[in-house]
Amino acid sequence: MSTLSIDLLMLLMLVGALVLWWAFNRGGYRGRIAVRVRQVNTDASTEAASSSGDAPKKGRDFVRRVMAPLVRFGERMPLFTPDHRLKLAKDLNKAGFRSPNAAPMLIAVKFASGLIWAAAVVLWVADLFTLGHVLVIRVLMMFAAFMLGMIVPEYMLDFYSRRRQKQILAYLPDALDLFVICTNAGNSLGVGLRRVAQEMALICPPLAAELALTADELHLSGDGARALQAMAERVDAPPIRALISTLTQSMRYGTPISQALRTLSRLERTAHMVRLEETAAKLAPKMVVPMMLFILPAVVAISAGPAVIQLVTSLKNL
């Protein structure tokens, strides 16, 4: 490790320490509000646990104590505007993370990821390039790695959100069929959603969680259109929006929804089969390159190897 790398690493550690000191000691008015809100939420959850008679587990308390500094740092981090924090909260909500501490935790993870990437570039990557020994180039590479490290957690969150959305859409036709059965049995919207959520809990937990949350919001607020619209914003997929539109129109005009849901279920099942067929049709072109690189050389070696060996032996005997 060169002296320049050590100096830049110490500078990076100094900047990180200054940011941590500012966040924990000079967080400002927003930091004090966040601390007070967190205390109120903690007190409320503790009272609810004590009233229900369930003692908090030691494992959860340990995790909470470990995560508390990260959450406090994320709440007071000065590099993120309120609009950006709101966007992160919406993205986390789409991915299924609905805890009040999810956004501050993600901000702390983003900052830690940026520091790790910057330190890795200073210690190892910069020495691989010819101009990496120049101070200006090394500093620019360090800041570029820091920005890239800050972006990586958001891409990982987006990947997880899209995978969760695909899982919800894959089991949506089955949920619609169950919901048709519930409506034919005379269940209301809230009871039907909760019943379908219970049946789908083992098959598709993300879809069951969304349906259960929608049923809870409908039970607490009594506004079905608002609860359904909140579900459409959380999942953010055209099939879910079509389902929400169907249910909203049924509640507004009093029309029966069994036939509409049955038709929507048939369409979604057909669309799912089309997506599966499209994925299967794409496998053949995608398999060409791996077959040429890995399978074809082995086949050629097995089939033509003995003949080549005999030819070489015959040429040596001449």
- Written as one letter, the residue type at 49 is A
Residue 50: what pLDDT?
42
Per-residue pLDDT tens digits for 75-120: 777 767 778 888 888 888 888 888 888 888 888 888 888 888 887 8
| 263-292 mean pLDDT | 83
| 63-70 mean pLDDT | 72
List the structure tokens of 169. Answer: 């859409």
- Residue percentage of the chain with pLDDT more than 70: 76
- Written as one letter, the residue type at 156 is M
The answer to whether 70 touches 103, Cβ cutoff 8 Å, is: no
**Among all chains, which residue has been given the structure tokens 């981090």?**
77
**Mean pLDDT computed over every residue of the chain:** 77
Residue 51: what pLDDT?
43
| 275-285 mean pLDDT | 84
Q: How far apart, in Å, are the Cα atoms of 9 and each of 1, 94, 113, 134?
A: 11, 37, 15, 15
Q: Is the CA virtual torsion 35, 36, 41, 44 positive or negative?
A: positive
pTM, 2 dp: 0.71
Per-residue pLDDT tens digits for 178-197: 888 888 888 888 888 889 99
- 100 or 39, which is more confident? 100
Nearest CA to 145 among 164, 182, 178, 119? 119
180-184, 206-210, 238-242: range with highest mean pLDDT = 206-210
The Cα 127–Cα 133 span in angstroms is 7
- 165 or 1, which is more confident? 165
The Cα 231–Cα 209 span in angstroms is 11
**Among all chains, which residue has been given the structure tokens 């036709």?**
173
Residue 49: what pLDDT?
41
The answer to whether 18 touches 78, Cβ cutoff 8 Å, is: no
Residue 129: what pLDDT?
67
**The three-state (H, E, C) secondary structure of the chain, written as one string:** CCHHHHHHHHHHHHHHHHHHHHHHHCCHHHHHHHHHHHHHHHHHHHHHHHHHCCCCCHHHHHHHHHHHHHHHHHHCCCCCCHHHHHHHHHHHHHCCCCCCCHHHHHHHHHHHHHHHHHHHHHHHHHHHCHHHHCHHHHHHHHHHHHHHHHHHHHHHHHHHHHHHHHHHHHHHHHHHHHHHHHHHCCCCHHHHHHHHHHHCCCCCHHHHHHHHHHHHHHHHHCCHHHHHHHHHHHHCCHHHHHHHHHHHHHHHHCCCCHHHHHHHHHHHHHHHHHHHHHHHHHHHHHHHHHHHHHHHHHHHHHHHHHHHHHHHHHHHHC
Domain ranges of the chain: 3-157, 166-272
